[in-house]
């Protein structure tokens, strides 16, 4: 009889063919999905060909997903060349899951495209050449970012040598007030434990406050596990998970959900009562530089940005549009849907008979094409990029110097509700003033 294990330990045990694994144990893990994109894909392909041969084939073309998303709508020749490299490789390897820009298959941000296109399933191992791959832990799977060298090896071998992380448990209880979103919850956690507080640890999120979140909000929670140094974030699958996955499961692949055993060992536990929390802002230049919104209310801003894998989903835009409806923004406000599916939703989702897109346009916001856009800065012509040392409040996930462009720009991280309220005020604002 194996000892009690956490979800993360169970998934890694199964993927390595063992009855059990313990934190700190190194195991060969069989990979279910490998994802790469235009920033890291060329490097990964280079490593793969160097070590497996110029004519080598990927270990399983059904398990390799290639999603250009970062530097897409730009005239930058090197950025365009990166996409060409992916294009050539996908053709050479006959990859069925290549979501090429400029075609009807183009998706946008990889972390939202993966679940939309059915590549996330409970109990699986998903590795990606992007640190926010941990987003997919919202589906009850082990999902983490890896470097180009590891990804190049996985591309050829289908497995990777991994160390099982110990698990930290964060429990959220209570009914989420209308002025809080998952972004507030994860910023509160990061503020408590710091950007290195979960280094090489699994972050398991639990409690009735988490169960009440829709799947997009759960994705936001797991997305920023890496901002605390986490190896992965993970949430137990339930009917909300199964309904989403079963509707989209690519190839109808069988999967098996796992759950943390009673008596499993956590190296850290913290319990939150969500009814006592207030909106959170991360001040420049670190995601753990936490402040309650009341502490920074009135701080002058030049720009508002709502988008990215963290804040560019339909749930995020519904929240923001609810505040912007019938009003006008006072500062430059950029709206960037994470994927083409989300972009289509801006036209089909309505509030009071008006589409979300119309609400944003009427409020004076600018709407960009589905992509990562300015979240990672990018070339100078990137939509929404901070090209001068201005102050921006953003739904993105990082606010290090230069992250969204200019090194001297200041980025405040917040929820879509807080960003929308601030866009209307021209200063950091408390969305409770508009909601309560």
In this model, does residue 395 exceed pLDDT 90?
A: yes
Q: Given this model, what pLDDT does residue 1 score? A: 86
**Mean pLDDT across 256-280:** 98
At residue 409 the predicted structure's pLDDT band, cuts being 50, 70 and 90, is: very high
Q: Given this model, what pLDDT does residue 241 score? A: 98
**Mean pLDDT across 17-42:** 98
Percentages (nearest 5) of helix, strand, coil residues in the chain:
40, 20, 45
For residues 94 and 59, give the distance between their C-alpha atoms in angstroms, rounded to a whole number: 12
Q: What is this structure's pTM?
A: 0.97
- The alpha carbon torsion through 185, 188, 194, 198 (nearest 10 deg) reads -30
**Mean pLDDT across 317-332:** 98
In this model, does residue 436 exceed pLDDT 80?
A: no
Q: Distance between terminal CA atoms of the chain?
A: 53
At residue 56 the predicted structure's pLDDT band, cuts being 50, 70 and 90, is: very high
Q: Enumerate the domain spans of the chain.
A: 7-249+266-270, 281-435
For residues 271 and 36, give the distance between their C-alpha atoms in angstroms, rounded to a whole number: 35
At residue 234 the predicted structure's pLDDT band, cuts being 50, 70 and 90, is: very high
Question: Does CATH number 3.40.47.10 belong to domain 281-435?
Answer: no
Q: Given this model, what pLDDT does residue 87 score? A: 97
Q: Given this model, what pLDDT does residue 51 score? A: 97
For residues 98 and 101, give the distance between their C-alpha atoms in angstroms, rounded to a whole number: 9
Q: What is the rounded average pLDDT for all residues in the chain? A: 97
Judge whether 7-249+266-270 and 281-435 match in fold.
yes
| CA nearest to 206, candidates 236, 186, 226, 174 | 236
Q: Given this model, what pLDDT does residue 26 score? A: 98
Q: Given this model, what pLDDT does residue 251 score? A: 87
Q: Judge whether 95 and 61 are in contact, CB under 8 Å.
A: yes
At residue 288 the predicted structure's pLDDT band, cuts being 50, 70 and 90, is: very high
At residue 135 the predicted structure's pLDDT band, cuts being 50, 70 and 90, is: very high
Q: Distances from the Cα of 397 to the Cαs of 51, 135, 139, 426, in angstroms?
A: 34, 12, 20, 21
Residue 291 token pair = 């402040």
Q: Given this model, what pLDDT does residue 272 score? A: 98
At residue 113 the predicted structure's pLDDT band, cuts being 50, 70 and 90, is: very high
Q: Which residues contact 138 (CB under 8 A, 6 or more apart)?
A: 115, 215, 218, 219, 221, 222, 233, 235, 241
**Mean pLDDT across 78-98:** 97
At residue 82 the predicted structure's pLDDT band, cuts being 50, 70 and 90, is: very high
**Mean pLDDT across 143-160:** 98
- Topology adopted by domain 7-249+266-270: Aconitase; domain 3 (3.30.499)
DSSP run (H or E) holding 326: none
Q: Each residue of 183-222: pLDDT tens digit? A: 999 999 999 999 999 999 999 999 999 999 999 999 999 9
At residue 13 the predicted structure's pLDDT band, cuts being 50, 70 and 90, is: very high
Q: What is the DSSP letter of 283?
A: P
């Amino acid at each position: 009889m194996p000892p009690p294990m956490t979800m993360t330990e169970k998934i890694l045990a199964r993927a390595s063919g063992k009855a059990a694994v313990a934190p700190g144990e190194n195991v060969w893990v069989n990979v279910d999905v490998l994802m790469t994109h235009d920033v890291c894909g060329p490097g990964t392909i280079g490593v793969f060909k160097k070590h497996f041969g110029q004519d080598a084939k990927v270990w399983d073309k059904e398990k390799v997903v290639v999603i250009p998303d970062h530097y897409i709508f730009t005239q930058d020749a090197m950025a365009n060349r990166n996409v060409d490299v992916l294009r050539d490789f996908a053709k050479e390897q006959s990859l069925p899951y290549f979501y090429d820009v400029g075609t009807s298959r183009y998706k946008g941000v990889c972390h939202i495209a993966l679940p939309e296109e059915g590549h996330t399933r409970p109990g699986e191992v998903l590795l990606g050449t992007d640190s926010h791959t941990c987003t997919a832990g919202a589906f009850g799977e082990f999902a983490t970012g890896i470097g180009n060298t590891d990804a190049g090896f996985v591309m050829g071998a289908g497995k990777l040598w991994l160390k099982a992380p110990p698990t930290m448990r964060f429990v959220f209880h209570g009914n989420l007030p209308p002025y809080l979103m998952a972004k507030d919850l994860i910023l509160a956690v990061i503020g408590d434990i710091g950007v290195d507080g979960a280094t090489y640890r699994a972050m398991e999120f639990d409690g009735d406050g988490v169960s009440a979140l829709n799947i997009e909000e759960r994705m936001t929670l797991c997305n920023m596990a890496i901002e605390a140094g986490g190896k992965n974030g993970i949430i137990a699958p339930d009917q909300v998970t199964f309904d989403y996955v079963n509707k989209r499961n690519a190839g109808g692949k069988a999967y098996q959900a796992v759950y943390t055993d009673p008596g499993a060992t956590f190296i850290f536990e913290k319990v939150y009562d969500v009814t006592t929390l207030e909106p959170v802002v991360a001040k420049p230049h670190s995601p753990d530089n936490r402040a309650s919104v009341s502490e920074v209310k009135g701080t002058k801003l030049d720009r508002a940005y709502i988008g990215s894998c963290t804040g560019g989903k339909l749930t995020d835009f519904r929240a923001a549009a609810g505040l912007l409806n019938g009003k006008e923004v006072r500062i430059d406000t950029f709206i960037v849907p994470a994927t083409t599916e989300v972009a289509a939703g801006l036209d089909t989702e309505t509030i009071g008979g008006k589409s979300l897109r119309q609400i944003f346009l009427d409020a004076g916001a600018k709407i960009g094409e589905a992509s990562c856009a300015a979240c990672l800065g990018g070339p100078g012509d990137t939509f929404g990029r901070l090209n001068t040392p201005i102050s921006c409040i953003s739904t993105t996930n990082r606010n290090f110097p230069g992250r969204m462009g200019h090194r001297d720009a200041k980025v405040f991280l917040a929820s879509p509700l807080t960003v929308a309220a601030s866009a209307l005020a021209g200063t950091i604002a408390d969305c409770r003033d508009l909601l309560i």
